[in-house]
Amino acid sequence: EVQLVETGGGLIQPGGSLRLSCAASGFIVSSNYVSWVRQAPGKGLEWVSIIYRGGERYYADSVRGRFTISRDNSKNTVYLQMSSLRAEDTAVYYCTKAETNAFQSWGQGTLLTVSS
């Protein structure tokens, strides 16, 4: 059974940095595509980033240059390193296993609040 567990959210000041983790089980992250999707409070879903099995990484315009997706194959974990955080980055961040051009499995999410 595929499981994704996000951790690392919390309260951070504007301009700060934080790293989210997505621990996967039931599949091997290095053989699959893993993506981050976020949802601001009371708002819709927004695609953030994806890492392919070959290691290629892609980002939404809203986070490119500030966020970096990576993975640790030994820990079967995907990360989202976030810097220069803004109030508008406040959201629940979901980790998803992407396959067949869709986001097939979802974690329960971790809440990031950017506020002074």
Partner 1 sequence: QTVVTQEPSFSVSPGGTVTLTCGLTSGSVSTGNYPSWYQQTPGQAPRTLIYNTNTRSSGVPDRFSGSVLGNKAALTITGAQADDESDYYCVLYMGSDIWVFGGGTKLTVL
Binding site for partner 1 (CB under 8 A): 35, 37, 44-47, 50, 56, 58, 60, 94, 100-109
Report residue 75 as tokens.
């820990």
At closest approach, how far in Å is the CB of 49 from partner 1? 10
Closest to partner 1 by CB, 73 or 108: 108
Q: How far is the CB of 57 from partner 1 (least distance, A)?
A: 9
User: For the chain, how many residues are written?
Assistant: 116
Least separation, in Å, of the C-beta of 96 and partner 1? 9
| 13 or 101: CB nearest partner 1 | 101
Q: Measured at the alpha carbon of residue 15, what is the angle toward residues 5 and 41, in degrees to the nearest 5?
A: 50
- The C-alpha angle with vertex 19 and arms to 15 and 25, in degrees rounded to 5, equals 160
Report the alpha-carbon distance of residue 20 to residue 37 in Å, rounded.
12
13 vs 56 by CB, closer to partner 1? 56
Closest to partner 1 by CB, 97 vs 114, is 97
Closest by Cα among 56, 6, 10, 12 to 30: 56
